[in-house]
Amino acid sequence: MRPSTASRELLILVPVALALAALGVLGNTYMISMLVIAGIHVIVTAGLTLLLGFAGQISLAQAAFYALGAYGSMIGTVHLGLNPWLALVLTALGSGIVAYAIGVPTLRLHGHYLALATLGFGIIVNIVLVQETNITGGPTGAVGIPRLTLGVELTSDRQYFALVWFVTLALLLVCRVLVTGSSYGRVLRALQASEVATESIGIDVARYKVQVFVLCAVLASLGGSLYAHYLTVISPSEFGFDVSMEFLVMAVIGGLGSVWGALAGVLAVTAFLEILRTVAPMIAPNIPTSEYEVVAFGGLLVLTLLFFPDGFMGRWRRFAGALRLGAMGR
């Protein structure tokens, strides 16, 4: 890894970590929990950011892999009595294998076959969660999932906040190093630039795509496990098709290719909804605002995609590029 890469990543990481630490100390229970969920969403979205950015593929089953993580951890700890951490790792491995089984046949074909397969897979997973009541708890959900332990049992929101964001930032950094620093990453970036060219120099493009898809699923699964142990209650409606859609949208809003985009996308959406909830009653105190949230959310998506088709990160990349060009012109 080149030192310059490291310093560039740190340039993002350190301020983000500091800002989070400040929020972790100052924020109230509500804000802390909201950020715990946001952190988990960043992990899940980051997988999509990589898949969309490098493999140029859409997965419509991110919420299903998120569910596999959550239900895997639930079954491992509640039904089988495993250590939560062991269950988390086993579940992630299992999710990776499932993703591999879906990816191999579909990613060898040219076209968006992965999108079709994951659409089907995602919905089937959700229906199984609803139907297999004895194992999953059915539509009402499963309760009594143990908390995670790190020496002591983690019970407070602040403890989870620290844990989740440590894991999130560490995972983002690892992904970032993987795609920018390593020779592996060079292939991925070549793939991003031109699939045909990459294939023509004898690289097995499909293999790399499958690997990115597996990584995408494993990240979702890890997020799901953390979610299950944080809320201790899970139900199928948290993992529906609409949730897969929301993850996709957050990934695109943030910008594809760089996992920091996932961070930007999730935080932008979280902040937007929060501001809406706070500001709307001040502007129109007598109108029940809650229903307008959905419209505003849809509006935000469309506008963002319209004006920032490459997401926030992409926009800034271009903006910065223009600045550089301007400077050179002078």
Partner 1 sequence: MKKRKIVGCARMLLALGLMLVAGPAPVNAQAKEYRIGAVMELSGPFSSWGAPMRDAIQLAVDNINAAGGIKGVPLKLVVYDGRSKGTEAVLLAKRLVTQDKVVAIIGPGTSPTTMPVIPYVTEAGVPTLSMGSSDRIIEPANERRWLFRPPYGSRHNVEKLIEHFKATGIKKVGFLSVNNAYGDTGREEFEKAARPAGIEVVAWEKFGGTDNDVKPQLTKLRALAPQAIIVWSIPPAASIVQKNRAELAIDIPMYHDNGASLTPQFIELAAGAAEGAYGVVIKVDVLDELPANDPQKATLLKFRQQFESRFGMDVGGLYGEAYDCVLLIAKGLESAGDNKEKLRDAIERVKGFVGMAGIYTMSPTEHNGLSARDLVIGRVKNGKWTIVK
Partner 2 sequence: MSEVVQFLLSGIAAGGIYALIAVGFVTVYNVLGIINFAQGEFAMFGALVAASLVARGVPLVAAIPLAIAVTAATGALTERAILRPAAGSSDVVRIIITIGVSIGLRGLALTVWSSKSYALPQFSGGEPVRILGAALALQNFWVLGVAAAIMIALYLLFERTYFGSALRACVMSPNASRLMGISPSVMSLFAYTMSAALGAMAGIVVTPISLATYDMGIMLGLKGFVAAVLGGLVSAPGAVVGGLLLGIIESFAAGFLSSGYRDAIAFALLLAVLGIRPTGLFARMAEQRRV
Which residues are near partner 2 by CB under 8 A?
52, 56-58, 105-106, 109-113, 115-117, 119-121, 123-124, 127-128, 130-131, 241-242, 245, 248-249, 252, 256, 291-292, 294-299, 301-302, 305-306, 309-310
Match 């074909």 to its residue by tokens: 109
Q: Smallest distance from the beta carbon of 63 to partner 2, in angstroms?
A: 13
Residue 223 neighbours by CB under 8 Å, 6+ apart: 40, 41, 43, 44, 66, 69
Query: 138-162 burial, b for 16+ CB within 10 Å, e for fewer?
Result: eeebbeebbbbeeeeebeebbbbbb
Choose among partner 1, partner 2, none what residue 6 binds, the Cβ cut-off being 5 to 8 Å by kind.
Answer: none
Instruction: Give the shortest CB-246-to-partner 2 separation in angstroms.
Output: 8
With CB cut-offs between 5 and 8 Å by kind, which of partner 1, partner 2, none does residue 11 bind? partner 1
- The binder of partner 1 chosen from 223, 260, 262, 301 (CB under 8 A): 260
By CB under 8 A, tell whether 274 contacts partner 1: yes
Closest CB to partner 2 among 84 and 103? 103
Contact status: 15 vs partner 1 (CB under 8 A): yes
Of these, 78, 270, 296, 310, which contacts partner 1 (CB under 8 A)?
270
Burial class of residue 223 in the structure, from the number of CB atoms within 10 Å of its CB (0-12 exposed, 13-18 middle, 19+ buried): buried
CB 244 within 8 A of CB 224: no
The yes or no reply on residue 173 touching partner 1 (CB under 8 A) is no
Helix (H, G, I), strand (E, B) or coil at 278: helix
Which segment (11-19, 51-59, 108-116, 301-309) binds partner 1 by CB under 8 A? 11-19
* CA 326 remoteness from chain centre: 35
Nearer to partner 2 by C-beta: 49 or 77? 49
Please write down the HEC assignment for all residues of 143-186.
CCCCCCEECEECCCHHHHHHHHHHHHHHHHHHHHHHHHCCHHHH
Q: In whole angstroms, what is the distance from residue 159 CA to residue 174 CA?
A: 22
Burial of 300 (0-12, 13-18, 19+ CB in 10 A): middle
268: contact with partner 1 by CB under 8 A: yes
Q: Which does 235 bind (CB under 5 to 8 A by kind): partner 1, partner 2, none?
A: partner 1
Helix residue ranges per DSSP H, the chain: 3-26, 29-50, 62-74, 84-107, 113-131, 133-136, 157-180, 183-193, 195-200, 205-231, 241-254, 260-283, 292-307, 311-329
Residue 249 binding: pick among partner 2, partner 1, none (C-beta 5-8 Å cut-off by kind): partner 2
275 binds, among partner 1, partner 2, none (CB under 5 to 8 A by kind): partner 1
Q: Which is nearer to partner 1, 25 or 201 (CB)?
A: 25
Is the CB of 224 or the CB of 254 nearer to partner 2? 254
Report the C-alpha gap between 90 and 85 in whole angstroms. Answer: 9
Does position 238 interact with partner 1 (CB under 8 A)? The reply is yes
Helix or strand holding residue 239 (H, E): none
Task: Please give the residue ranges that form the binding site for partner 1 (CB under 8 A).
Answer: 8, 11-12, 15-16, 19-20, 23, 26-31, 33-34, 37, 130, 133, 138-141, 143, 227, 231-238, 240, 242, 260, 263-264, 267-268, 270-271, 274-275, 277-279, 288, 290-291, 293-294, 312-313, 316-317, 319-321, 323-324
